[in-house]
DNA sequence: AACTTATCCAACCGCCGCTAC
DNA sequence: AGTAGCGGCGGTTGGATAAGT
């Protein structure tokens, strides 16, 4: 293990403390519980091991598929991904990804790249980007707190993209992303998810490992959520 | 059976953003 | 505006165990 393993006695003390005082106030937990552990260790032990309804054991096929899809959308934002998998912790998801999926997917991606060499790919171009732009986060940083509050209360982003005779619409309101692909007035497929807007914006700005994300990926994901 | 190597996963560490002062 | 304290997050570590030779 990467540190000193927790004993049953320590687990019992921590559980008792949380039951008595509730979650939060982690800085006080070591003192209240009488544990010789730092606040972070206590929090982690509770979240990853002692919390009720934690699912242990192998990941189901549906869970693995979900992780792959979400990782494509969100990158290494394990807590957000775990939030979509009841009973799974961010640490579990991260470990599973690092041990099982990253190698597997790297191999698959290498294969894809090889195949894509001979294929000309046309990506949809953003035509109308409502209140959001590529520099949205920079703009937001320069806004006053009041302005940010006003903006976030409106937060509706609409994107209208033409590609191959299809209209693609992506809309974000608060914590929800809605996307649909329609042709000749009728919806071909729809996609809806309740992510935090901030995370979505980060993706749009190409921050972090999510920079791989693009319209094509989203449309691919729509199939999954049909 | 004994040893080596690979894999798994709980725990730790350092950083970040937020809040209060 | 600057700073300290906090919760939270992702990356990394290293001991336990399984698999291979």
CA/C1' separation A164–B16 (Å)? 42
Of the pLDDT bands very low, low, confident and very high (cuts 50, 70, 90), residue A62 is: confident
Which DSSP string do the residues of A161-193 spell out, in sequence order? EEETTEEEEEEEETTEEEEEEEETTEEEEEEEE
Which CATH architecture best describes the domain A8-50? Orthogonal Bundle (1.10)
Which residues in window 182-221 of A are less than 7 A from strand B by Cβ?
Answer: none
What's the pLDDT at A118?
52
Confirm whether any atom of chain C, the nucleic acid strand, is less than 7 Å from CB of A102. Answer: no
Of the pLDDT bands very low, low, confident and very high (cuts 50, 70, 90), residue A213 is: very low
Of the pLDDT bands very low, low, confident and very high (cuts 50, 70, 90), residue A109 is: low
Listed as ranges, the nucleotides of chain B within 7 A of a protein C-beta are: 7-14
In this predicted model, what pLDDT tens digit does every residue of A141-200 receive, in sequence order?
333 333 333 333 333 333 333 333 344 444 444 444 544 444 444 444 455 554 443 344
Beta bridge partners of A172: A157, A177
Nucleotide nearest to A78 (CA to C1'): C10
- A28 vs A47: CA distance, rounded Å: 16
Which DSSP string do the residues of A77-96 spell out, in sequence order? -HHHHHHTSTT--HHHHHHH
- A28 vs A10: CA distance, rounded Å: 15
| Mean pLDDT, chain A, integer | 63
The answer to whether the A8-50 and A61-116 domains have the same CATH topology is yes
Confirm whether any atom of chain C, the nucleic acid strand, is less than 7 Å from CB of A40. Answer: yes
Each domain of chain A, given as residue ranges in start order, spans 8-50, 61-116, 125-225
What's the pLDDT at A106?
65
- Check whether A121 has a pLDDT greater than 60: no
Which residues in window 131-160 of A are less than 7 A from strand B by Cβ?
Answer: none
Has domain A61-116 been given CATH number 1.10.10.10?
no
The number of angstroms, rounded, from the C-alpha of A57 to the middle of its chain's C-alpha atoms is 22
Torsion of CA A149, A209, A223, A219, to 10 degrees: 70
pLDDT-above-90 percentage for chain A: 4
Q: Both tokens of residue A168?
A: 């693609």
Mean per-residue pLDDT, A74-90: 88
CA/C1' separation A127–C18 (Å)? 55
Which residues in window 182-221 of A are less than 7 A from strand C by Cβ?
Answer: 209
- Check whether A66 has a pLDDT greater than 80: yes
What's the pLDDT at A161?
38
To the question of pTM greater than 0.85 for the whole model, the response is no
């Amino acid at each position: 293990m990467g540190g000193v393993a927790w004993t049953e006695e320590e687990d019992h003390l921590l559980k008792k403390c949380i039951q008595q005082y509730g979650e939060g106030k982690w800085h006080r937990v070591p003192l209240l519980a009488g544990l010789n552990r730092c606040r972070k260790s206590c929090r982690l032990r509770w979240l990853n091991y002692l919390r009720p309804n934690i699912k242990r054991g192998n990941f189901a096929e549906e869970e693995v598929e979900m992780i792959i899809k979400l990782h494509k959308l969100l990158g290494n934002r394990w807590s957000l991904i775990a939030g979509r998998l009841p009973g799974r912790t961010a640490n579990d998801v991260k470990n599973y990804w690092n041990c099982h999926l990253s190698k597997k997917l790297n191999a698959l991606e290498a294969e894809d790249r090889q195949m894509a060499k001979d294929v000309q790919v046309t990506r949809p171009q953003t035509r109308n980007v409502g209140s959001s732009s590529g520099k949205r986060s920079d703009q937001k940083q320069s806004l006053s707190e009041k302005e940010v509050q006003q903006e976030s209360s409106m937060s509706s982003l609409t994107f209208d993209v033409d590609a191959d005779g299809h209209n693609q619409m992506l809309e974000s309101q608060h914590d929800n992303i809605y996307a649909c692909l329609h042709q000749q007035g009728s919806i071909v497929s729809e996609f809806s998810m309740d992510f935090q807007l901030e995370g979505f914006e980060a993706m749009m700005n190409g921050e972090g490992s999510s920079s791989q994300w693009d319209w094509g990926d989203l449309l691919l994901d729509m199939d999954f959520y049909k």
